[in-house]
């Protein structure tokens, strides 16, 4: 049975297009924030993404059914549509075709997972602006979303939280979580650790680190960097004689890695009294 949504959308008397055009003409949107329509039936994917981007300049409206998303699109005029291979009364690729027939400008980002078959190719052929991996990598998607922002808008993206498993580094507040325990850091230590965490495995010279964190205000002969690295090692529980988190690479600089957690020793057996 055909959904009544499609005839209503395609009708010459359609109010969806009228609402959308009126909304766009009136500029009915929140300034300096992007309105995102997230169309996805997977609650876990939606929750993971919306949690990861909390605090970003995004107003996210979610729909599980592409047919319902057509109604929302016409009524709310989102800046961008983020569309997964949703399941509902309307195929998501057909959703793209219908939207593109009326509005060739609205950005549509299609999310394609490893098991979504030819969805990526079909979405691109139907008019998706770009196809990205799904589940979504929040940092990459936020950067992509803001790249579609209107030129007149100033979108200030908050630094994303860095999750390295054992270590999580806050996006802006000088704090980390090490093996689940929250630790507050002085600002310079935080900036240094964040710089390392954004480039796991890379080797950095002293010059590079001093320029990145102190703006080059200290000479490479200064012990400022050495002191901060020693303090970070202590906070990370590093072994002074054989550091595993921040390694000194002779003649080159420093390398940051995330070591596996050492297995806890089993409790010793109690001897009977």
Tokens representing residue 33 in the block: 């924030």
| DSSP sequence for 165-194 | SSEEE-SSSSEEEETTEEEE--HHHHHHHH
The pLDDT of residue 85 is: 81
pLDDT greater at residue 173 or residue 153: 173
Cα(61)–Cα(268) distance, rounded to whole angstroms?
54
Residue ranges and CATH numbers for the domains of the chain are 5-147 (3.40.50.2300), 162-256 (1.10.10.10)
Mean pLDDT of 119-132: 93
Cα(47)–Cα(138) distance, rounded to whole angstroms?
12
pLDDT tens per residue across span 75-122? 888 889 999 988 888 999 999 999 999 888 899 999 998 877 688 999
Angle at 188 between CA 206 and CA 58, to 5 degrees: 110
**CA–centroid distance for 125 within its chain:** 26
> Is it the case that residue 253 has pLDDT exceeding 80?
yes
Q: State the residue for tokens 């230590």.
A: 189
Entry field: residues in the chain: 273
What order of strands is seen across the sheet that includes strand 203-204? 203-204, 253-256, 246-249
> Is it the case that residue 50 has pLDDT exceeding 70?
yes
pLDDT tens per residue across span 191-248? 999 899 989 999 999 999 998 888 866 555 678 999 999 999 999 999 888 999 999 9
CB count, 10 Å around CB of 177?
Answer: 15
Q: What is the pTM of this model?
A: 0.60
The pLDDT of residue 218 is: 59
The pLDDT of residue 143 is: 87
Cα(36)–Cα(83) distance, rounded to whole angstroms?
10
Tokens representing residue 100 in the block: 């593109």
Tokens representing residue 42 in the block: 């997977």
Q: State the residue for tokens 């940051």.
A: 256
The pLDDT of residue 198 is: 87
Cα(255)–Cα(249) distance, rounded to whole angstroms?
7
Mean pLDDT of 17-22: 55
Mean pLDDT of 142-165: 78
Angle between helix axes 187-197 and 206-214 (nearest 10 degrees) is 130
Cα(21)–Cα(16) distance, rounded to whole angstroms?
9
CB count, 10 Å around CB of 199?
Answer: 14
Angle between helix axes 66-76 and 15-26 (nearest 10 degrees) is 40
pLDDT > 70 fraction of the chain, expressed in percent and rounded: 79
What average pLDDT does the structure give for the chain?
82
> Is it the case that residue 72 has pLDDT exceeding 80?
yes
Q: Which of 16-30, 122-136, 156-170, 254-268 has the lowest mean pLDDT?
A: 16-30
Q: Which of 51-55, 60-64, 204-208, 262-266 has the lowest mean pLDDT?
A: 262-266
Collect all residues with Cβ–Cβ distance below 8 Å to 126 and sequence separation of at least 6.
Answer: 93, 94, 96, 97, 100
pLDDT greater at residue 261 or residue 206: 206
Tokens representing residue 35 in the block: 């309105």
pLDDT greater at residue 10 or residue 231: 231
The pLDDT of residue 265 is: 42
CB count, 10 Å around CB of 161?
Answer: 18
Mean pLDDT of 4-8: 49
The pLDDT of residue 10 is: 47
The pLDDT of residue 270 is: 42
| Helices and strands, number each (H, E), in the chain | 10, 12
The pLDDT of residue 152 is: 57
Q: State the residue for tokens 């602006």.
A: 129
């Amino acid at each position: 049975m055909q959904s009544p949504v499609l005839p209503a959308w395609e009708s010459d008397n359609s109010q969806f297009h009228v609402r959308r055009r009126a909304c766009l003409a009136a500029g009915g949107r929140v300034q300096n924030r992007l309105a995102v329509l997230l169309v996805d039936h997977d609650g876990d994917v939606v929750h993971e993404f919306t949690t990861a981007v909390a605090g970003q300049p995004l107003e996210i409206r979610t729909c599980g059914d592409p047919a319902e998303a057509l109604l929302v699109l016409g009524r709310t005029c989102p800046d961008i549509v983020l569309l997964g291979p949703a399941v509902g009364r309307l195929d998501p690729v057909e959703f793209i075709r219908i939207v593109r027939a009326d509005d060739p400008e609205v950005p549509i980002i299609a999310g394609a997972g490893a098991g979504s078959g030819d969805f990526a190719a079909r979405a691109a052929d139907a008019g998706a602006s770009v196809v990205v991996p799904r589940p979504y990598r929040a940092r990459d998607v936020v950067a992509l979303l803001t790249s579609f922002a209107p030129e007149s808008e100033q979108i200030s993206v908050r630094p994303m939280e860095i999750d390295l498993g054992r270590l999580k580094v806050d996006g802006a507040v000088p704090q980390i979580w090490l093996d689940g325990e929250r630790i507050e850091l002085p600002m310079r230590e935080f900036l240094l650790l964040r710089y390392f965490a954004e480039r796991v495995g890379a080797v950095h010279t002293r010059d590079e680190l001093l320029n990145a964190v102190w703006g080059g205000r200290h000479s490479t002969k200064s012990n400022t960097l050495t002191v901060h690295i020693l303090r970070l090692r202590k906070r990370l529980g590093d072994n002074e004689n054989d550091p595993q988190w921040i390694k000194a690479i002779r003649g080159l600089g420093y390398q940051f890695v995330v070591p596996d957690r050492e297995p806890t020793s089993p409790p010793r057996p109690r001897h009977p009294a």
